[in-house]
């Protein structure tokens, strides 16, 4: 297939390319050794993962000439090589973030070639951006966890919580820029590459899969599983909307901008399921609508008093909100899987990409929260969204992942009808 060949072109037939790629791999190994000598264990870990990803095609085909493009390996290796051999530290986080994104791209393309995962170039570009953001988020979760449990100083190095948080937000911002840049590089590569594909890669038979083996999944209606009459579910949603209106009025009365803004947004979000059902005939049954309403309802209650009064309350709302975002992400992802016959996402890929999607959304959300918080403080206003140091940021992201794991493990059956309706909508709108 054309799309398969274009992705296979990531492995060009060129002895010069293979030689340069192996040279860079050798330098990565030396960088890992140097990092171990200097006790820069994060660089050592990254270098070892980069070596594994870069050499996987050669190992898989038992052919030393089957290597990724040398310039992609160079982008991956650049921060490690600079840290090991550079005259001074890098002054920007864009280069390490771009290296993460390129490493994620190579891993995705190799999964496409060596497993039942099937992608097309445009979807690979999207995944490159998502994986870049997910990897930077996951990296900082690992750093914070190691510092908290093992006493390392990757993040918690003696600076104040707010100072560390600001530095991480800058790193997240670099990752956004690098992710978009990596996606653009991949797009240009697919558009302009005329390199002959390595015959071992182009001629290899990808693992067989039946195109319909996992496209038909038995649906489960959430409303039936809740054990609550449908009329009661609708009543609960309406009751939450009325309480939210009451909170909005309260915010007006006391002139509390955060309460007012959050209540207004929450009210609007509770009507989205009904609008999608009416305007696009999407099967969003009362149980799903109640799920969405519950997430914004409990968050808005928190802005009134509960966030300050009950410390773990924030964990509950982040988990619940992330589960709704993950549900929407899964529905769209499976709709693409059903609509685009050249894309095949086996269950393990759907699970992995869903977690990556939530991590990426979490990174974007934390940046937005930081901008709103700092902007409000600069203007002398009470922030609508607030951050409270690096511990608050990382714990929020951890509970975002918990919400995604709950959906990926137990919640996807309730989204089957919705994803199939979205796929039918794509069919009607795109005519393919």
Quick one: pLDDT band at residue 3, thresholds 50, 70, 90?
very low
In angstroms, the Cα distances linking 361 to 2, 69, 172, 222, 292 are 32, 30, 11, 25, 17
Quick one: pLDDT band at residue 19, thresholds 50, 70, 90?
very high
Beta bridge partners of 12: 197
User: pLDDT by residue (tens digit) across 109-156?
Assistant: 788 877 888 888 788 888 888 988 998 999 899 999 999 999 988 899
Quick one: pLDDT band at residue 365, thresholds 50, 70, 90?
very high
- Residue 63: the pLDDT is 86
The dihedral of CA 246, 250, 255, 258: what is its sign?
A: negative
Q: Judge whether residue 199 has pLDDT over 60.
A: no
Quick one: pLDDT band at residue 263, thresholds 50, 70, 90?
very high
Could you tell me what percentage of the chain is helix, strand and coil, using 3-state DSSP and rounding each to the nearest 5? Answer: 75, 0, 20
Quick one: pLDDT band at residue 209, thresholds 50, 70, 90?
very low
Residue of 231 and 84 predicted with greater confidence: 231
Residues 6+ apart with CB under 8 A from 418: 282, 283, 284, 288, 331
In angstroms, the Cα distances linking 76 to 66, 81, 293 are 17, 9, 43
Worst-scoring range by mean pLDDT, 7-11, 12-16, 111-115? 7-11
Quick one: pLDDT band at residue 212, thresholds 50, 70, 90?
very low
Quick one: pLDDT band at residue 289, thresholds 50, 70, 90?
very high
Q: Judge whether residue 431 has pLDDT over 70.
A: no
Q: Judge whether residue 206 has pLDDT over 60.
A: no
Worst-scoring range by mean pLDDT, 252-266, 370-384, 400-414? 370-384
**To the nearest whole number, what is the mean pLDDT of the chain?**
85
| DSSP-H helix ranges across 340-383 | 347-379
Helix axes 41-61, 15-37, angle to 10 degrees: 150
C-beta neighbour count of 178 within 10 angstroms: 26
User: How confident is the model over 268-279, as a mean pLDDT?
Assistant: 94
Quick one: pLDDT band at residue 2, thresholds 50, 70, 90?
very low
Helix axes 161-192, 347-379, angle to 10 degrees: 130
- Residue 200: the pLDDT is 55
DSSP string, 67-132: ---HHHHHHHHHHHHHHHH-SS--S-SHHHHHHHHHHHHHHHHHHHHHSS-B--HHHHHHHHHHHH
User: pLDDT by residue (tens digit) across 379-394?
Assistant: 888 787 778 889 999 9
- Residue 179: the pLDDT is 83
Rounded Cα distance between 103 and 75, Å, is 9
- Residue 9: the pLDDT is 59
| DSSP-H helix ranges across 38-93 | 41-61, 70-85
User: pLDDT by residue (tens digit) across 66-99?
Assistant: 888 888 899 888 887 777 666 566 556 777 887 8
* CA 403 to mean position of chain CA atoms: 13
**Contact, 83 vs 31, CB < 8 A?**
yes
- Residue 5: the pLDDT is 45
User: How confident is the model over 45-64, as a mean pLDDT?
Assistant: 88
**Contact, 358 vs 326, CB < 8 A?**
yes
Rounded Cα distance between 8 and 56, Å, is 14
* CA 367 to mean position of chain CA atoms: 14
Q: Which of 223-227, 362-366, 386-390 has the highest mean pLDDT?
A: 362-366
């Amino acid at each position: 297939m054309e799309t398969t060949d274009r992705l296979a072109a990531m492995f060009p037939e060129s002895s010069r390319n293979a030689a340069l790629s192996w040279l860079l791999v050798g330098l990565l190994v030396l960088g890992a050794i140097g990092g171990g000598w200097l006790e820069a264990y994060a660089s050592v870990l990254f270098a070892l993962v980069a070596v594994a990803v870069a050499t996987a095609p050669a190992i898989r085909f038992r052919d030393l000439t089957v290597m990724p493009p040398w310039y992609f390996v160079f982008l991956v290796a650049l921060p490690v090589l600079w840290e090991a051999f550079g005259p001074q530290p890098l002054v920007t986080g864009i280069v390490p973030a771009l290296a993460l994104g390129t490493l994620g791209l190579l891993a995705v393309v190799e999964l496409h070639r060596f497993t039942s995962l099937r992608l097309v170039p445009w979807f690979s570009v999207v995944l490159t951006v998502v994986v870049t953001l997910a990897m930077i988020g996951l990296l900082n979760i690992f750093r914070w966890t190691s510092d908290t449990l093992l006493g390392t100083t990757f993040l918690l190095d003696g600076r104040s919580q707010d100072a560390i948080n600001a530095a991480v937000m800058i790193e997240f911002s670099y990752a956004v820029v690098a992710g978009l840049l990596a996606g653009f590089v991949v797009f240009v590569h697919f558009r302009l590459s005329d390199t002959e594909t390595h015959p071992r890669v182009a001629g290899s038979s990808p693992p067989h899969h039946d195109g319909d083996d996992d496209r038909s999944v038995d649906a489960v209606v959430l409303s039936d599983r809740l054990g609550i009459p449908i009329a009661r579910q609708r009543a609960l949603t309406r009751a939450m909307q009325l309480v939210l209106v009451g909170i909005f009025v309260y915010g007006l009365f006391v002139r509390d901008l955060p309460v007012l803004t959050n209540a207004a947004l929450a009210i609007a979000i509770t009507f989205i399921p009904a609008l999608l059902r009416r305007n696009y005939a999407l099967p969003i049954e009362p149980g799903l609508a109640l799920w969405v309403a519950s997430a914004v309802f409990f968050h808005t209650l928190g802005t009134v008093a509960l966030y300050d009064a009950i410390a773990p309350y924030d964990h509950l709302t982040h988990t619940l909100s992330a589960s709704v975002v993950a549900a929407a992400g899964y529905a769209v992802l499976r709709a693409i899987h059903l609509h685009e016959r050249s894309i095949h996402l086996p269950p393990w890929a759907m699970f992995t990409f869903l977690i990556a999607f939530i991590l990426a959304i979490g990174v974007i959300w934390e940046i937005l929260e930081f901008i709103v918080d700092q902007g409000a403080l600069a203007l002398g206003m009470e922030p609508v969204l607030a951050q409270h140091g690096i511990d608050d940021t990382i714990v929020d992201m951890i509970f975002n992942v918990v919400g995604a794991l709950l959906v990926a493990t137990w919640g996807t059956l309730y989204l089957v009808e919705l994803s199939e309706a979205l796929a039918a909508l794509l069919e009607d709108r795109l005519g393919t």
